[in-house]
Every structure is written in C-alpha cells, then in structure tokens.
Structure 1
C-alpha cells in the first residue's frame, strides 16, 4: 500500500519532467547556419526563438544560436509552410539570443504559438491578403502593406502593427493587447472576448465588439458602430 501511494505521488513529477523535456544548456560559442529550404509563403513558429521576417526575391533561412543548440532548432517546409520549432523532448537554455532569419518573396500567413517573438525587418508587402495568428504569451511586431489583413490572438501576448491595409479584421480572446495606432486602415472590424485592450485607426468604417472587460481606443474620423456586453469601453483619442 505504501509503495502504491509513493508511486501515485511520484507520477505527477515524472509527467512534469517529461513535459518539460531534457534541458540543454548553450555552450556560449556563437554560431550561425544557413538552411537549404524549398519555396514557401507561410510561417508557423513555436518555441523560445526570435523570428525575423524579411521580403526578398528568394526563400532563405539563417539560424543564429550557440553552436551546440543549432541541431535542436528545426526548420523544414511542408507544402508551402515553413515550420520553425525546437526538437521534441528538449528544453533549450542560453544566455545568448536564439534567432531565425526568414526571407521570402511574400508572406500569406504567419503563425506564432508559445512564448517566442516575431518581428519584421522592413515592410512586408502582400498584394492579396495576409493573416496573422498568435496563441500564447508571445509577441508579434510587424510592418505590413496589404489590401486585406486578418489578425487573430488567443492568450496573453501582444500584437503591434504598422503600415497600411484597406480592410482589417482583428479578433482578440484573452488578456492580450493589440497596438495598431500605426496601422492605417480604411475599414476595420475589431472584436474582444475577455479583458484585452486594443488600439486601432480607421478612416471610413469602424466596427467594434466587446464581450467582457476589454477596452478599445480608436483614432480617425470613421463611422463607428460599437457593441459592448460587459464592463468594457470604447474611447476616441486624438
């Protein structure tokens, strides 16, 4: 009986260790590696890395990290999507940044899952439409220029956008924040479900929906249609 109780107490610890994965410490020897990849137009990233996106004529990937950590940072293309992640079963630690530089002619969809960061180096131009998805506590900070933009966030992360989009649809679920005063739009639809906050700008039409205690601040002279269910608020600022 005592052995059974001991095993029951030990099981959560074992599962926790397995979930965390084996810890791999960086050796402090900075290195970079160019990866050979086929063409892609979307990116899905998870893990603690910083992802830097840049428009370029040809697809390319460069990884910067401690030399012994490079084999644990995986980059592969499936279909038209570049997947960036750490090797399963390992938990990477380093005093130095782990960065993945990603170049492509166009980005249709960018997805971040976890606690990493995605930024853009310069303006990302898409002549059709672009979708951004964030799940977890990570951050997306990008400059974009596209006719139609969609951004979806679930969790406690942050999305910061600048540039322009004729039409922008944004959905926020959780306690995260959307900072988009720098994104010039003509028509925007923003919905918050939870306690998150949003900053938006529109020149023609602005549709705002809040379910919960979220707050939306807006700029511009757009016609505003707002619906609030809960203690949230909508405020115009200069």
Structure 2
C-alpha cells in the first residue's frame, strides 16, 4: 500500500516537473515570437520609410535617350505632354533627387513612364514628362496622372484610362478605340470614321468634338459618354450612365438599368 502511494506521489512530482518544463518552453517560444514580431515590424517600417522618397524642392531637367516608339503609357502621377516633331525626344522635369526614380523605357514599341521598383514619390513640385514623336498610335494613363497631346494622324488610335487619370487628345484616324475603367476623364477631338467606346465605372468620355461616322458606345456603371455621330450609333447601357449624342444617326440600343440615350441639340 505504501509502495503504491509512493509511486503515485512520485508520478505526481514527475508530471508537475514536466508541466513546468513545457510551460517554460511555451513561454520561451512566446517571448521569441514577440521579439521576432517586434524586429520584423520595425524592419518593415524602416523599409517603408526607405521606399518613400520625398522631393527636395530643387527643380531639375533631364533629357532621356530612347529607341523609337509608337505608343506612350504613363503609370503614376506624372503630367505627360506629347507633341509632334521630326525626332524622338523625352525630357523629364522634376525635383533633382526624384529624377533617378522616374523611369522612361521602351518595350514592345511603347514608351513606358513609371516609378522604379516599389518607391513612392512624395513630390513638392510637378513631375512633368515632355515627349516629342513623329507619330503616335495610342496612349494609356494608369493612375492619377494626366496626358495631353497635340494633333496626330493615324490609321488606328487607342486611348485607355485605368484609374482616376485624365487624357486630352486630338487625332485624325480611320478608327478609334477608347476605354475608361474607373473615375478617369477622356476628352478626344478630331475626326474618325468609326469609334468603339467602352466606359466602366464613374468616369466621363467627352468625344463631343470628334466627328464620327459610326460609333459603338458601351457603358457599365454610372459614367457618361458624349458623342457626335452622323450615320450609325449602337449604344449598350447597363447601369445609370447615359449616352448623349448629336447628329442624326440610325440608332440601335440595348439598355438594362436606369441609363438612357439622349439627343442633344
């Protein structure tokens, strides 16, 4: 009987020791995890601070040498100005310590303007890119920046906005495709035989000064399209957006939602 009680007592002591050992191991793991989390937090915070580049307020200009290109794509809060000229030229105006982070490279015949790596540029002065090109077949604005162009002629011309940016362009083309995804705004003037417009979101597409023969306009969301068309208009609306038009075209409509096709004098 005494042996049995002794064995039980010994077992209880052993179990207690094992429990406290496990508790210590758990506490050590918890402490290590807290230390690791703290170190990681400060490391990440430091990295984030390193990625945010604040402008020094000193204006500077830098010319860039690039291969030939047919299109321009801007990704970010840049103000891009495109004019027609005999040679290809790219000039960047920005604060002196930001210039090295503004990339201008050509890939697949497209001049791409963007910020290098994961950096975020906190500029105090405008970041402007002046582009000169003999011809232009398309422009894309991704983000909150702006693109403006002079007069260009092309067989086909593309204008694309993704985000809240704006584009103002003047073209003469056989065909034009324009797409807005988000809250951006496009103003396009000139002349084209046919146009295909697609607007998804709350943006606005102003083609009031673009003389069109035929037009296919599609709205998904609350945005509006303004067009001038003489021969044929096909309009599809899903949502609350409207297609405002002038001219006397034959009209084909497909409407689901509260949007409408509205003629303007």
- TM-score, normalised via structure 1 length: 0.90
Match of 1:87 in 2: 116
Report if the CA contact (8 A) 2:56-2:124 is conserved: no
Which runs of 5 or more structure 1 residues have no equivalent in the other structure? Answer: none
Give the superposition deviation at 1:22: 1.8
**Could you tell me how far 1:151 is from its partner in structure 2?**
0.5
**C-alpha distance in structure 2 between counterparts of 1:155 and 1:198, whole Å:** 14
Which residue of 1 is the match for residue 75 of structure 2?
46
- Looking at secondary structure, tell me which structure has more helix per residue: 2
Q: Secondary structure at the match of 2:77?
A: coil
Check whether the contact 1:19–1:89 (CA below 8 A) recurs between aligned residues.
no
Runs of 4+ in 1 over 4 A off after TM superposition: 1-21
> Matched residues in 2 for 1:9 and 1:192: separation?
49
| Cα drift, residue 79 of structure 1 | 3.2
Could you tell me which residue of structure 2 aligns to residue 179 of structure 1?
A: 206
Q: How many residues align?
A: 236
Conservation of the 8 A alpha-carbon contact between 1:208 and 1:227: yes
Distance 1:73 1:140, change over 3 A: same
Gaps of 5+ in 2: 1-29
Q: In the aligned structure 2, how far is the partner of 1:11 from the partner of 1:142?
A: 48
Quote how far apart the aligned CAs of 1:124 are. 1.8
> Higher relative contact order by CA 8 Å / sep ≥ 6: 1 or 2?
1
Deviations 1:33-82 (A, max 9, x none): 11111111011210110111112222110101111111111001123111
Map of 1:23 onto structure 2: 52
Q: Check the 8 A contact 1:21/1:89 in 2, yes or no.
A: no
Give the structure with the higher percent strand: 1
Aligned Cα root-mean-square deviation (Å)? 2.5
- Residue of structure 2 equivalent to 1:138: 165
Aligned partner of residue 151 in structure 1, secondary structure: strand
CA distance in 2, matches of 1:18, 1:194: 39
- Corresponding residue SS for 2:98: helix
Distance (whole Å) between structure 2 residues aligned to residue 146 and residue 58 of structure 1: 21
Instruction: Give the TM-score of the pair, scaled to structure 2.
Output: 0.81
Aligned-pair CA distance for 1:222? 1.4
